[in-house]
Structure 1
Amino acid sequence: MKKGILFFLLGLLTLKVSAQVPTEKTLLWEIKAPGASKSSYLFGTIHLICPDDFYLSDALKSAITKTEQVALEMDMDDPAMMGKMMQTMNMKPGNQLSKLVSDAEYKRLAKFYKDSVGVGLAMFENAKPFVLMGPLFTSVLGCEPKSYEMALVELAGKQKSEVIGLETVEEQMGIFDTIPYKDQVKMLLSMIDSLPQARKEFRDLVNLYKSENIQELYTATTKSSFGMEENQDIMLYDRNKKWIGRIKNIIAEKSTLFAVGAAHLGGEKGVIALLRKEGYTVTSVKQ
Protein backbone atom coordinates (compact mmCIF):
# COMPACT_ATOMS: atom_id res chain seq x y z
CA MET A 1 0.00 0.00 0.00
CA LYS A 2 2.76 2.42 1.00
CA LYS A 3 4.73 1.54 -2.14
CA GLY A 4 1.64 2.16 -4.25
CA ILE A 5 1.16 5.62 -2.73
CA LEU A 6 4.85 6.41 -3.23
CA PHE A 7 4.76 5.43 -6.92
CA PHE A 8 1.55 7.45 -7.37
CA LEU A 9 3.17 10.56 -5.86
CA LEU A 10 6.30 10.08 -7.94
CA GLY A 11 4.11 9.78 -11.02
CA LEU A 12 2.34 13.05 -10.20
CA LEU A 13 5.71 14.75 -9.69
CA THR A 14 6.95 13.46 -13.05
CA LEU A 15 3.80 14.73 -14.76
CA LYS A 16 4.19 18.14 -13.10
CA VAL A 17 7.83 18.47 -14.20
CA SER A 18 6.93 17.35 -17.73
CA ALA A 19 4.17 19.95 -17.89
CA GLN A 20 6.66 22.69 -17.08
CA VAL A 21 8.98 21.76 -19.94
CA PRO A 22 8.02 23.69 -23.11
CA THR A 23 6.80 21.59 -26.04
CA GLU A 24 5.45 24.24 -28.41
CA LYS A 25 7.56 25.20 -31.41
CA THR A 26 8.15 28.92 -31.01
CA LEU A 27 10.95 31.27 -30.03
CA LEU A 28 8.66 33.91 -28.52
CA TRP A 29 6.87 33.49 -25.18
CA GLU A 30 4.57 35.67 -23.10
CA ILE A 31 5.31 35.88 -19.37
CA LYS A 32 2.62 36.75 -16.83
CA ALA A 33 3.54 37.26 -13.19
CA PRO A 34 0.94 36.10 -10.64
CA GLY A 35 -1.65 38.87 -10.29
CA ALA A 36 0.07 41.17 -12.81
CA SER A 37 -1.86 43.08 -15.46
CA LYS A 38 1.06 43.70 -17.83
CA SER A 39 2.89 41.03 -19.82
CA SER A 40 6.56 40.60 -20.40
CA TYR A 41 8.08 38.48 -23.16
CA LEU A 42 10.91 36.00 -23.64
CA PHE A 43 12.66 35.50 -26.99
CA GLY A 44 15.28 32.91 -27.89
CA THR A 45 18.13 34.18 -30.02
CA ILE A 46 20.95 32.59 -31.95
CA HIS A 47 23.99 34.77 -31.37
CA LEU A 48 25.42 34.61 -34.91
CA ILE A 49 23.56 33.76 -38.12
CA CYS A 50 24.00 34.37 -41.83
CA PRO A 51 21.94 37.25 -43.29
CA ASP A 52 19.94 34.87 -45.52
CA ASP A 53 18.69 33.04 -42.40
CA PHE A 54 18.03 36.16 -40.32
CA TYR A 55 14.39 37.09 -39.68
CA LEU A 56 12.54 39.41 -37.31
CA SER A 57 8.87 38.47 -37.07
CA ASP A 58 6.01 40.95 -36.74
CA ALA A 59 5.08 39.26 -33.45
CA LEU A 60 8.55 39.98 -32.03
CA LYS A 61 8.44 43.59 -33.19
CA SER A 62 4.99 43.92 -31.61
CA ALA A 63 6.28 42.48 -28.32
CA ILE A 64 8.97 45.16 -28.22
CA THR A 65 6.38 47.92 -28.68
CA LYS A 66 4.31 46.46 -25.83
CA THR A 67 7.19 46.52 -23.35
CA GLU A 68 9.16 49.26 -21.64
CA GLN A 69 12.67 47.83 -22.00
CA VAL A 70 14.80 45.07 -23.53
CA ALA A 71 16.96 42.77 -21.36
CA LEU A 72 19.76 40.89 -23.12
CA GLU A 73 22.33 38.54 -21.59
CA MET A 74 24.59 41.61 -21.41
CA ASP A 75 23.81 45.30 -21.82
CA MET A 76 24.97 45.65 -25.42
CA ASP A 77 23.85 49.26 -25.50
CA ASP A 78 26.41 50.21 -22.84
CA PRO A 79 29.07 52.45 -24.46
CA ALA A 80 31.60 51.12 -21.94
CA MET A 81 30.96 47.46 -22.85
CA MET A 82 33.86 47.06 -25.30
CA GLY A 83 36.26 48.63 -22.82
CA LYS A 84 35.09 46.25 -20.10
CA MET A 85 35.51 43.28 -22.44
CA MET A 86 39.05 44.33 -23.27
CA GLN A 87 39.81 44.56 -19.55
CA THR A 88 38.46 41.06 -18.86
CA MET A 89 39.46 39.14 -21.99
CA ASN A 90 42.88 37.97 -20.76
CA MET A 91 43.64 34.77 -18.90
CA LYS A 92 44.78 34.83 -15.30
CA PRO A 93 48.45 35.87 -14.88
CA GLY A 94 50.99 33.21 -15.75
CA ASN A 95 48.96 31.72 -18.60
CA GLN A 96 49.82 32.02 -22.29
CA LEU A 97 48.33 30.37 -25.35
CA SER A 98 51.71 29.00 -26.46
CA LYS A 99 52.07 27.24 -23.09
CA LEU A 100 48.70 25.50 -23.36
CA VAL A 101 49.52 23.57 -26.54
CA SER A 102 52.40 21.72 -28.13
CA ASP A 103 54.65 23.49 -30.63
CA ALA A 104 53.00 21.57 -33.47
CA GLU A 105 49.49 22.53 -32.29
CA TYR A 106 50.49 26.18 -31.92
CA LYS A 107 51.89 26.24 -35.45
CA ARG A 108 48.67 24.65 -36.73
CA LEU A 109 46.59 27.28 -34.96
CA ALA A 110 48.80 30.12 -36.19
CA LYS A 111 48.66 28.89 -39.80
CA PHE A 112 44.87 28.49 -39.73
CA TYR A 113 44.21 31.93 -38.29
CA LYS A 114 46.63 33.58 -40.69
CA ASP A 115 45.45 31.75 -43.83
CA SER A 116 41.73 31.28 -43.17
CA VAL A 117 40.81 34.09 -40.79
CA GLY A 118 43.40 36.71 -41.69
CA VAL A 119 44.58 37.51 -38.17
CA GLY A 120 47.87 36.85 -36.42
CA LEU A 121 47.86 34.65 -33.35
CA ALA A 122 50.36 36.80 -31.43
CA MET A 123 47.68 39.36 -30.50
CA PHE A 124 45.73 36.59 -28.71
CA GLU A 125 48.68 35.17 -26.76
CA ASN A 126 47.28 36.20 -23.37
CA ALA A 127 43.57 36.11 -24.26
CA LYS A 128 41.18 33.48 -22.97
CA PRO A 129 41.11 30.92 -25.77
CA PHE A 130 37.34 31.25 -26.24
CA VAL A 131 37.98 34.79 -27.56
CA LEU A 132 39.41 33.12 -30.66
CA MET A 133 35.99 31.56 -31.32
CA GLY A 134 34.69 34.87 -32.67
CA PRO A 135 36.88 35.07 -35.77
CA LEU A 136 36.69 31.28 -36.17
CA PHE A 137 32.90 31.37 -36.50
CA THR A 138 33.12 33.54 -39.60
CA SER A 139 35.01 30.67 -41.22
CA VAL A 140 32.52 28.09 -39.92
CA LEU A 141 29.51 30.10 -41.11
CA GLY A 142 30.98 31.06 -44.46
CA CYS A 143 29.40 34.51 -44.31
CA GLU A 144 29.56 37.85 -42.50
CA PRO A 145 27.13 37.04 -39.68
CA LYS A 146 24.30 39.14 -38.29
CA SER A 147 23.33 39.45 -34.62
CA TYR A 148 19.81 39.29 -33.21
CA GLU A 149 21.02 41.10 -30.12
CA MET A 150 22.24 44.11 -32.10
CA ALA A 151 19.02 44.15 -34.13
CA LEU A 152 17.01 44.24 -30.89
CA VAL A 153 19.20 47.05 -29.56
CA GLU A 154 18.42 49.01 -32.73
CA LEU A 155 14.67 48.40 -32.43
CA ALA A 156 14.73 49.39 -28.76
CA GLY A 157 16.57 52.59 -29.69
CA LYS A 158 13.92 53.54 -32.23
CA GLN A 159 11.22 53.54 -29.55
CA LYS A 160 13.57 54.97 -26.93
CA SER A 161 13.37 51.86 -24.75
CA GLU A 162 16.13 51.13 -22.27
CA VAL A 163 18.46 48.17 -22.85
CA ILE A 164 19.74 46.29 -19.79
CA GLY A 165 21.71 43.10 -19.11
CA LEU A 166 20.95 39.99 -17.07
CA GLU A 167 24.68 39.63 -16.47
CA THR A 168 27.58 42.03 -16.24
CA VAL A 169 30.46 41.82 -18.68
CA GLU A 170 32.65 40.70 -15.78
CA GLU A 171 30.27 37.84 -14.93
CA GLN A 172 30.04 36.56 -18.49
CA MET A 173 33.75 36.84 -19.22
CA GLY A 174 34.48 35.25 -15.85
CA ILE A 175 32.72 32.07 -17.02
CA PHE A 176 35.76 31.39 -19.20
CA ASP A 177 38.04 31.40 -16.20
CA THR A 178 36.06 28.49 -14.74
CA ILE A 179 36.26 26.37 -17.91
CA PRO A 180 39.89 25.16 -18.05
CA TYR A 181 41.90 27.10 -20.62
CA LYS A 182 43.29 23.84 -22.02
CA ASP A 183 39.74 22.61 -22.65
CA GLN A 184 38.98 25.81 -24.53
CA VAL A 185 42.04 25.35 -26.76
CA LYS A 186 41.10 21.70 -27.29
CA MET A 187 37.70 22.84 -28.58
CA LEU A 188 39.36 25.31 -30.97
CA LEU A 189 41.67 22.64 -32.36
CA SER A 190 38.77 20.20 -32.66
CA MET A 191 36.76 22.68 -34.74
CA ILE A 192 39.72 23.57 -36.96
CA ASP A 193 40.50 19.90 -37.56
CA SER A 194 36.83 19.08 -38.24
CA LEU A 195 35.54 22.11 -40.15
CA PRO A 196 33.15 20.13 -42.40
CA GLN A 197 31.59 18.52 -39.31
CA ALA A 198 31.46 21.89 -37.49
CA ARG A 199 29.75 23.51 -40.49
CA LYS A 200 27.20 20.68 -40.68
CA GLU A 201 26.52 20.81 -36.92
CA PHE A 202 25.99 24.56 -37.02
CA ARG A 203 23.78 24.31 -40.13
CA ASP A 204 21.65 21.71 -38.31
CA LEU A 205 21.37 24.09 -35.33
CA VAL A 206 20.33 26.94 -37.63
CA ASN A 207 17.66 24.72 -39.21
CA LEU A 208 16.33 23.79 -35.77
CA TYR A 209 16.35 27.47 -34.85
CA LYS A 210 14.42 28.43 -37.98
CA SER A 211 11.89 25.66 -37.23
CA GLU A 212 11.58 27.22 -33.73
CA ASN A 213 11.97 23.81 -32.10
CA ILE A 214 13.55 24.97 -28.86
CA GLN A 215 13.46 21.56 -27.19
CA GLU A 216 15.42 19.83 -29.97
CA LEU A 217 17.70 22.86 -30.22
CA TYR A 218 18.45 22.57 -26.50
CA THR A 219 19.17 18.83 -26.83
CA ALA A 220 21.41 19.32 -29.87
CA THR A 221 23.34 22.12 -28.16
CA THR A 222 24.02 20.09 -25.03
CA LYS A 223 25.25 17.18 -27.15
CA SER A 224 27.53 19.30 -29.34
CA SER A 225 30.75 17.66 -30.49
CA PHE A 226 32.59 20.87 -29.67
CA GLY A 227 32.51 21.33 -25.93
CA MET A 228 29.03 22.04 -24.52
CA GLU A 229 28.34 18.52 -23.25
CA GLU A 230 31.12 18.78 -20.66
CA ASN A 231 30.20 22.33 -19.58
CA GLN A 232 26.41 22.30 -19.34
CA ASP A 233 26.31 23.38 -15.70
CA ILE A 234 28.63 26.34 -16.26
CA MET A 235 27.27 27.51 -19.60
CA LEU A 236 23.57 26.81 -19.16
CA TYR A 237 22.10 25.54 -15.89
CA ASP A 238 23.94 27.71 -13.37
CA ARG A 239 23.22 30.81 -15.41
CA ASN A 240 19.55 29.93 -15.92
CA LYS A 241 19.09 29.50 -12.18
CA LYS A 242 20.85 32.80 -11.47
CA TRP A 243 18.78 34.65 -14.05
CA ILE A 244 15.40 33.65 -12.59
CA GLY A 245 15.73 35.85 -9.50
CA ARG A 246 16.88 38.74 -11.67
CA ILE A 247 14.06 38.24 -14.18
CA LYS A 248 11.50 38.28 -11.35
CA ASN A 249 12.91 41.55 -9.98
CA ILE A 250 13.01 43.16 -13.43
CA ILE A 251 9.43 42.14 -14.28
CA ALA A 252 8.25 43.56 -10.96
CA GLU A 253 9.62 46.96 -12.02
CA LYS A 254 8.86 47.15 -15.76
CA SER A 255 7.33 45.09 -18.56
CA THR A 256 10.33 43.70 -20.40
CA LEU A 257 11.33 41.76 -23.49
CA PHE A 258 14.02 39.27 -22.44
CA ALA A 259 16.23 37.93 -25.22
CA VAL A 260 18.70 35.15 -24.42
CA GLY A 261 20.28 32.29 -26.36
CA ALA A 262 17.55 29.85 -27.42
CA ALA A 263 19.38 26.91 -25.80
CA HIS A 264 18.55 28.50 -22.41
CA LEU A 265 14.80 28.06 -23.02
CA GLY A 266 14.36 24.28 -23.29
CA GLY A 267 14.63 21.42 -20.81
CA GLU A 268 13.69 20.89 -17.16
CA LYS A 269 16.39 23.36 -16.09
CA GLY A 270 15.60 25.90 -18.79
CA VAL A 271 14.32 29.42 -18.19
CA ILE A 272 10.73 28.60 -19.17
CA ALA A 273 10.44 25.58 -16.86
CA LEU A 274 12.10 27.47 -14.00
CA LEU A 275 9.72 30.44 -14.37
CA ARG A 276 6.74 28.09 -14.39
CA LYS A 277 8.01 26.46 -11.20
CA GLU A 278 8.01 29.94 -9.64
CA GLY A 279 4.32 30.35 -10.47
CA TYR A 280 4.69 32.45 -13.64
CA THR A 281 2.44 31.73 -16.60
CA VAL A 282 4.61 31.31 -19.69
CA THR A 283 2.70 30.77 -22.93
CA SER A 284 3.81 30.43 -26.54
CA VAL A 285 3.33 33.26 -29.03
CA LYS A 286 3.04 32.28 -32.67
CA GLN A 287 5.41 34.10 -34.99
Structure 2
Amino acid sequence: MKKLASILLAIFLGFIAGRLAASERQSDVLHTLLFRIVSPNGATESYLFGTHHAFSKSFFDTLSNTRAKLMAAEIVITESDPEPGHTANDIVNARTSETQWSKYLTKADLAYLREHLHDSPTNFEKLRPEELYAALNREYTINACNTRTAADPNLSIDEYIGFLAKQAGKRVIGLETADEQLELIRKDIEGMPPKVHKKRLSRLIQLIKSGGNSQICEATDMYRQMAFDYRLTEPCFNSLILTDRNTRWLEKIVGDLQSSSCFVAVGLSHLQFECGLISQLREGGFVVEPISTTE
Protein backbone atom coordinates (compact mmCIF):
# COMPACT_ATOMS: atom_id res chain seq x y z
CA MET A 1 0.00 0.00 0.00
CA LYS A 2 2.97 2.35 0.14
CA LYS A 3 3.29 2.61 -3.63
CA LEU A 4 1.25 5.39 -5.17
CA ALA A 5 3.58 5.82 -8.12
CA SER A 6 0.79 5.85 -10.66
CA ILE A 7 -2.15 7.20 -8.76
CA LEU A 8 -4.51 8.72 -11.25
CA LEU A 9 -4.19 7.36 -14.76
CA ALA A 10 -7.67 6.18 -15.65
CA ILE A 11 -8.80 5.10 -12.23
CA PHE A 12 -12.54 5.41 -12.78
CA LEU A 13 -13.28 1.84 -13.82
CA GLY A 14 -12.96 0.52 -10.26
CA PHE A 15 -15.89 2.63 -9.09
CA ILE A 16 -18.06 2.19 -12.19
CA ALA A 17 -17.57 -1.56 -12.59
CA GLY A 18 -18.27 -2.08 -8.90
CA ARG A 19 -21.72 -0.58 -9.30
CA LEU A 20 -22.43 -2.53 -12.49
CA ALA A 21 -21.50 -5.84 -10.89
CA ALA A 22 -24.52 -5.76 -8.60
CA SER A 23 -26.95 -6.51 -11.44
CA GLU A 24 -27.90 -10.06 -12.35
CA ARG A 25 -29.19 -9.24 -15.85
CA GLN A 26 -27.74 -11.44 -18.57
CA SER A 27 -28.27 -9.34 -21.71
CA ASP A 28 -25.22 -8.67 -23.85
CA VAL A 29 -22.97 -10.89 -21.72
CA LEU A 30 -19.84 -11.45 -23.81
CA HIS A 31 -17.02 -13.72 -22.70
CA THR A 32 -14.21 -11.53 -23.96
CA LEU A 33 -12.48 -8.20 -23.50
CA LEU A 34 -11.27 -7.91 -27.11
CA PHE A 35 -13.13 -6.68 -30.19
CA ARG A 36 -12.23 -6.55 -33.88
CA ILE A 37 -13.05 -3.28 -35.68
CA VAL A 38 -13.38 -3.05 -39.47
CA SER A 39 -13.69 0.41 -41.03
CA PRO A 40 -16.85 1.27 -43.03
CA ASN A 41 -15.04 0.84 -46.36
CA GLY A 42 -13.35 -2.37 -45.21
CA ALA A 43 -9.89 -0.90 -45.73
CA THR A 44 -8.55 -1.20 -42.19
CA GLU A 45 -8.76 -3.66 -39.31
CA SER A 46 -8.22 -2.51 -35.72
CA TYR A 47 -8.83 -3.84 -32.21
CA LEU A 48 -10.52 -2.55 -29.09
CA PHE A 49 -9.53 -3.90 -25.66
CA GLY A 50 -11.30 -3.20 -22.36
CA THR A 51 -8.92 -2.70 -19.45
CA HIS A 52 -9.23 -2.82 -15.66
CA HIS A 53 -6.65 -0.65 -13.98
CA ALA A 54 -6.16 -2.91 -10.97
CA PHE A 55 -4.56 -5.56 -13.22
CA SER A 56 -1.08 -5.51 -14.71
CA LYS A 57 1.53 -7.47 -16.68
CA SER A 58 0.84 -10.90 -15.20
CA PHE A 59 -2.77 -10.88 -16.44
CA PHE A 60 -2.16 -9.24 -19.81
CA ASP A 61 0.64 -11.65 -20.69
CA THR A 62 -1.82 -14.56 -20.48
CA LEU A 63 -3.91 -13.01 -23.29
CA SER A 64 -1.87 -14.31 -26.23
CA ASN A 65 -4.17 -13.14 -29.02
CA THR A 66 -4.58 -9.71 -27.45
CA ARG A 67 -0.85 -9.24 -27.20
CA ALA A 68 -0.42 -10.38 -30.80
CA LYS A 69 -2.96 -7.80 -32.02
CA LEU A 70 -1.17 -5.11 -30.02
CA MET A 71 2.16 -6.02 -31.59
CA ALA A 72 0.65 -6.03 -35.10
CA ALA A 73 -0.93 -2.56 -34.81
CA GLU A 74 0.55 0.56 -36.36
CA ILE A 75 -0.91 2.92 -33.73
CA VAL A 76 -1.63 2.21 -30.06
CA ILE A 77 -4.22 4.41 -28.36
CA THR A 78 -4.58 4.52 -24.57
CA GLU A 79 -6.50 6.70 -22.12
CA SER A 80 -3.42 8.66 -21.16
CA ASP A 81 0.19 8.90 -22.30
CA PRO A 82 1.75 11.59 -20.09
CA GLU A 83 4.70 13.54 -21.39
CA PRO A 84 7.91 13.05 -19.37
CA GLY A 85 7.80 15.30 -16.34
CA HIS A 86 4.07 15.82 -16.59
CA THR A 87 2.55 12.77 -14.95
CA ALA A 88 -0.10 13.02 -12.23
CA ASN A 89 2.68 12.66 -9.66
CA ASP A 90 4.62 15.53 -11.23
CA ILE A 91 1.54 17.76 -11.18
CA VAL A 92 0.75 16.98 -7.55
CA ASN A 93 4.35 17.40 -6.38
CA ALA A 94 4.66 20.75 -8.15
CA ARG A 95 1.78 22.29 -6.20
CA THR A 96 2.74 25.12 -3.88
CA SER A 97 -0.02 24.58 -1.31
CA GLU A 98 -0.66 21.67 1.04
CA THR A 99 -3.99 20.23 2.10
CA GLN A 100 -5.25 20.98 5.59
CA TRP A 101 -5.78 17.32 6.42
CA SER A 102 -7.30 18.06 9.82
CA LYS A 103 -10.49 18.99 7.90
CA TYR A 104 -10.65 15.63 6.16
CA LEU A 105 -8.99 13.07 8.44
CA THR A 106 -9.17 12.15 12.08
CA LYS A 107 -5.91 12.47 14.02
CA ALA A 108 -5.53 8.70 14.07
CA ASP A 109 -6.14 8.36 10.32
CA LEU A 110 -3.74 11.20 9.54
CA ALA A 111 -0.99 9.67 11.65
CA TYR A 112 -1.57 6.28 10.03
CA LEU A 113 -1.37 7.67 6.48
CA ARG A 114 1.72 9.76 7.13
CA GLU A 115 3.48 6.63 8.29
CA HIS A 116 1.90 4.37 5.70
CA LEU A 117 2.80 6.59 2.75
CA HIS A 118 6.08 8.03 3.95
CA ASP A 119 8.07 6.51 1.06
CA SER A 120 5.55 7.28 -1.67
CA PRO A 121 6.89 9.25 -4.66
CA THR A 122 3.74 11.36 -4.45
CA ASN A 123 3.79 14.13 -1.84
CA PHE A 124 0.94 13.09 0.45
CA GLU A 125 0.58 16.60 1.89
CA LYS A 126 -0.19 18.01 -1.57
CA LEU A 127 -2.80 15.46 -2.58
CA ARG A 128 -6.43 16.54 -2.54
CA PRO A 129 -9.03 14.48 -0.64
CA GLU A 130 -10.64 13.02 -3.76
CA GLU A 131 -7.22 12.10 -5.17
CA LEU A 132 -6.21 10.40 -1.94
CA TYR A 133 -9.45 8.42 -1.93
CA ALA A 134 -8.97 7.34 -5.55
CA ALA A 135 -5.37 6.28 -4.92
CA LEU A 136 -6.17 4.37 -1.74
CA ASN A 137 -9.18 2.70 -3.32
CA ARG A 138 -7.13 1.50 -6.25
CA GLU A 139 -4.30 0.14 -4.11
CA TYR A 140 -6.80 -1.44 -1.71
CA THR A 141 -8.52 -3.23 -4.60
CA ILE A 142 -5.19 -4.51 -5.92
CA ASN A 143 -4.21 -5.94 -2.55
CA ALA A 144 -7.60 -7.22 -1.36
CA CYS A 145 -8.48 -8.88 -4.67
CA ASN A 146 -5.00 -10.24 -5.54
CA THR A 147 -5.06 -8.73 -9.02
CA ARG A 148 -1.27 -8.55 -9.29
CA THR A 149 1.66 -10.78 -8.45
CA ALA A 150 4.80 -9.83 -6.57
CA ALA A 151 6.65 -9.84 -9.90
CA ASP A 152 4.33 -7.27 -11.51
CA PRO A 153 5.75 -3.80 -12.15
CA ASN A 154 3.94 -0.86 -10.61
CA LEU A 155 2.03 -0.36 -13.86
CA SER A 156 -1.63 -0.79 -14.71
CA ILE A 157 -2.56 -2.83 -17.78
CA ASP A 158 -2.98 0.46 -19.67
CA GLU A 159 0.50 1.65 -18.72
CA TYR A 160 1.97 -1.78 -19.50
CA ILE A 161 0.36 -1.73 -22.95
CA GLY A 162 1.86 1.70 -23.56
CA PHE A 163 5.24 0.44 -22.38
CA LEU A 164 5.14 -2.55 -24.74
CA ALA A 165 4.10 -0.34 -27.65
CA LYS A 166 6.91 2.15 -27.11
CA GLN A 167 9.39 -0.67 -26.64
CA ALA A 168 8.34 -1.93 -30.07
CA GLY A 169 8.76 1.53 -31.59
CA LYS A 170 5.06 2.11 -32.18
CA ARG A 171 3.27 5.43 -32.24
CA VAL A 172 1.33 5.87 -28.98
CA ILE A 173 -1.56 8.32 -28.63
CA GLY A 174 -3.03 9.37 -25.27
CA LEU A 175 -6.69 10.42 -25.26
CA GLU A 176 -6.34 12.61 -22.16
CA THR A 177 -3.65 14.47 -20.26
CA ALA A 178 -2.94 13.93 -16.59
CA ASP A 179 -4.25 17.45 -15.95
CA GLU A 180 -7.56 16.57 -17.55
CA GLN A 181 -7.90 13.40 -15.51
CA LEU A 182 -7.19 15.23 -12.27
CA GLU A 183 -9.84 17.78 -13.20
CA LEU A 184 -12.36 15.01 -13.89
CA ILE A 185 -11.76 13.56 -10.44
CA ARG A 186 -12.34 16.99 -8.92
CA LYS A 187 -15.53 17.62 -10.88
CA ASP A 188 -16.94 14.17 -10.09
CA ILE A 189 -17.19 15.04 -6.38
CA GLU A 190 -17.55 18.82 -6.69
CA GLY A 191 -19.39 20.26 -3.71
CA MET A 192 -18.82 17.27 -1.42
CA PRO A 193 -18.64 18.60 2.19
CA PRO A 194 -15.44 17.97 4.18
CA LYS A 195 -17.34 15.81 6.67
CA VAL A 196 -18.37 13.45 3.86
CA HIS A 197 -14.77 13.24 2.65
CA LYS A 198 -13.72 12.48 6.23
CA LYS A 199 -16.33 9.75 6.63
CA ARG A 200 -15.55 7.89 3.43
CA LEU A 201 -11.78 8.21 3.86
CA SER A 202 -12.02 6.86 7.39
CA ARG A 203 -14.18 3.96 6.24
CA LEU A 204 -11.67 3.07 3.53
CA ILE A 205 -8.72 3.32 5.91
CA GLN A 206 -10.46 0.95 8.33
CA LEU A 207 -11.00 -1.52 5.50
CA ILE A 208 -7.31 -1.32 4.61
CA LYS A 209 -6.34 -1.95 8.23
CA SER A 210 -8.74 -4.87 8.59
CA GLY A 211 -7.63 -6.63 5.43
CA GLY A 212 -10.70 -5.96 3.32
CA ASN A 213 -14.15 -7.02 2.31
CA SER A 214 -14.54 -9.72 -0.34
CA GLN A 215 -17.58 -7.95 -1.85
CA ILE A 216 -15.29 -5.36 -3.39
CA CYS A 217 -13.75 -8.12 -5.52
CA GLU A 218 -16.93 -8.92 -7.43
CA ALA A 219 -15.97 -6.57 -10.28
CA THR A 220 -12.38 -7.81 -10.50
CA ASP A 221 -13.58 -11.44 -10.44
CA MET A 222 -15.92 -10.72 -13.35
CA TYR A 223 -13.08 -9.10 -15.28
CA ARG A 224 -10.70 -11.98 -14.58
CA GLN A 225 -13.33 -14.48 -15.75
CA MET A 226 -14.13 -12.31 -18.79
CA ALA A 227 -17.90 -12.59 -18.39
CA PHE A 228 -19.23 -9.06 -18.57
CA ASP A 229 -22.65 -7.61 -19.42
CA TYR A 230 -21.99 -4.86 -21.93
CA ARG A 231 -25.62 -3.56 -21.91
CA LEU A 232 -25.21 -2.11 -25.35
CA THR A 233 -28.78 -0.84 -25.66
CA GLU A 234 -29.02 0.80 -22.23
CA PRO A 235 -28.36 4.50 -21.60
CA CYS A 236 -25.23 5.61 -19.78
CA PHE A 237 -25.66 6.73 -16.18
CA ASN A 238 -22.72 9.12 -15.82
CA SER A 239 -22.36 11.96 -18.32
CA LEU A 240 -19.11 13.34 -16.91
CA ILE A 241 -17.17 10.10 -16.63
CA LEU A 242 -18.69 8.07 -19.47
CA THR A 243 -20.85 9.86 -22.06
CA ASP A 244 -18.86 13.06 -22.47
CA ARG A 245 -15.48 11.34 -22.46
CA ASN A 246 -16.58 8.66 -24.92
CA THR A 247 -17.81 11.32 -27.34
CA ARG A 248 -14.51 13.25 -27.14
CA TRP A 249 -12.47 10.07 -27.52
CA LEU A 250 -14.44 8.90 -30.55
CA GLU A 251 -13.81 12.20 -32.30
CA LYS A 252 -10.08 11.71 -31.73
CA ILE A 253 -9.81 8.09 -32.87
CA VAL A 254 -12.26 7.72 -35.77
CA GLY A 255 -9.83 9.16 -38.33
CA ASP A 256 -7.03 6.81 -37.30
CA LEU A 257 -9.41 3.84 -37.32
CA GLN A 258 -10.31 4.64 -40.93
CA SER A 259 -6.74 5.03 -42.13
CA SER A 260 -4.53 2.79 -39.96
CA SER A 261 -4.41 -0.44 -38.02
CA CYS A 262 -4.96 0.60 -34.40
CA PHE A 263 -5.03 -1.05 -30.99
CA VAL A 264 -7.29 0.92 -28.65
CA ALA A 265 -7.07 0.16 -24.91
CA VAL A 266 -9.49 1.94 -22.57
CA GLY A 267 -11.37 1.11 -19.38
CA LEU A 268 -13.94 -1.63 -19.92
CA SER A 269 -16.81 0.62 -18.81
CA HIS A 270 -16.15 2.84 -21.84
CA LEU A 271 -17.13 -0.06 -24.09
CA GLN A 272 -20.50 -0.51 -22.39
CA PHE A 273 -23.95 1.02 -22.93
CA GLU A 274 -25.34 2.88 -25.91
CA CYS A 275 -22.89 5.74 -25.34
CA GLY A 276 -19.97 3.30 -25.31
CA LEU A 277 -17.37 2.98 -28.03
CA ILE A 278 -18.79 -0.32 -29.34
CA SER A 279 -22.29 1.08 -29.92
CA GLN A 280 -21.08 4.42 -31.25
CA LEU A 281 -18.62 2.82 -33.69
CA ARG A 282 -21.34 0.52 -35.00
CA GLU A 283 -23.64 3.51 -35.48
CA GLY A 284 -20.84 5.13 -37.47
CA GLY A 285 -20.72 2.24 -39.91
CA PHE A 286 -17.86 0.24 -38.38
CA VAL A 287 -18.14 -3.50 -37.92
CA VAL A 288 -17.34 -4.33 -34.28
CA GLU A 289 -17.32 -7.99 -33.27
CA PRO A 290 -16.11 -9.85 -30.17
CA ILE A 291 -13.13 -12.18 -30.58
CA SER A 292 -11.13 -14.40 -28.25
CA THR A 293 -8.41 -12.84 -26.14
CA THR A 294 -6.28 -15.99 -26.15
CA GLU A 295 -6.59 -17.98 -29.39
TM-score higher than 0.5: yes
CA distance in 2, matches of 1:234, 1:162: 28
1:277 matches 2:283: yes
Match of 1:177 in 2: 186
CA distance in 2, matches of 1:199, 1:90: 35
AA aligned to 2:164 is: L
AA aligned to 1:68 is: E
Match of 1:213 among 207, 221, 227: 227
- Cα distance, 1:80–1:242 mapped onto 2, change above 3 Å: same
CA distance in 1, matches of 2:76, 2:251: 17
Match of 2:205 in 1: 192
CA distance in 1, matches of 2:244, 2:165: 28
CA contact under 8 A between 1:217 and 1:263: conserved in structure 2? no
AA aligned to 2:279 is: A
Match of 2:13 in 1: none
CA contact under 8 A between 2:44 and 2:257: conserved in structure 1? no
CA contact under 8 A between 1:47 and 1:261: conserved in structure 2? yes
Moved more, 270-279 or 174-183: 174-183
Identity of aligned residues (%): 23
TM-superposed deviation, 1:234: 2.0
AA aligned to 1:153 is: G
Alignment of 1:98-177 (within 5 A): 98=101, 100-101=103-104, 105-114=105-114, 116-118=116-118, 123-132=123-132, 133-135=134-136, 137-142=138-143, 146-177=155-186
1:203 matches 2:217: yes
Match of 1:4 in 2: none
1:66 matches 2:72: yes
Match of 2:11 in 1: none
AA aligned to 1:215 is: D
TM-superposed deviation, 1:28: 0.6
Higher Cα Rg: structure 1 or 2? 1
- Cα distance, 1:40–1:87 mapped onto 2, change above 3 Å: same
CA distance in 1, matches of 2:92, 2:244: 20
CA distance in 2, matches of 1:141, 1:263: 18
Match of 2:24 in 1: none
CA distance in 1, matches of 2:239, 2:93: 21
3-state secondary structure, aligned to 2:42:
coil
TM-superposed deviation, 1:256: 1.1
- Cα distance, 1:123–1:160 mapped onto 2, change above 3 Å: closer
1:96 matches 2:99: yes
CA distance in 2, matches of 1:94, 1:158: 37
CA distance in 2, matches of 1:178, 1:45: 23
TM-superposed deviation, 1:216: 6.7
What are the ranges of 5 or more consecutive residues in structure 1 without an aligned counterpart? Answer: 1-20, 223-228
CA contact under 8 A between 1:89 and 1:128: conserved in structure 2? no
CA distance in 2, matches of 1:184, 1:260: 28
What are the ranges of 5 or more consecutive residues in structure 2 without an aligned counterpart? Answer: 1-26
Provide the aligned length of Structure 1 versus Structure 2.
Answer: 249
TM-superposed deviation, 1:166: 1.1
Match of 1:36 in 2: 42
Alignment of 1:76-95 (within 5 A): 76=82, 78-82=83-87, 85-87=89-91
| Bigger proportion of residues as helix | 1
AA aligned to 2:278 is: I
CA distance in 2, matches of 1:56, 1:89: 35
CA contact under 8 A between 1:217 and 1:262: conserved in structure 2? no
Match of 2:15 in 1: none
AA aligned to 1:191 is: L
CA contact under 8 A between 1:71 and 1:164: conserved in structure 2? yes
CA distance in 1, matches of 2:220, 2:244: 25
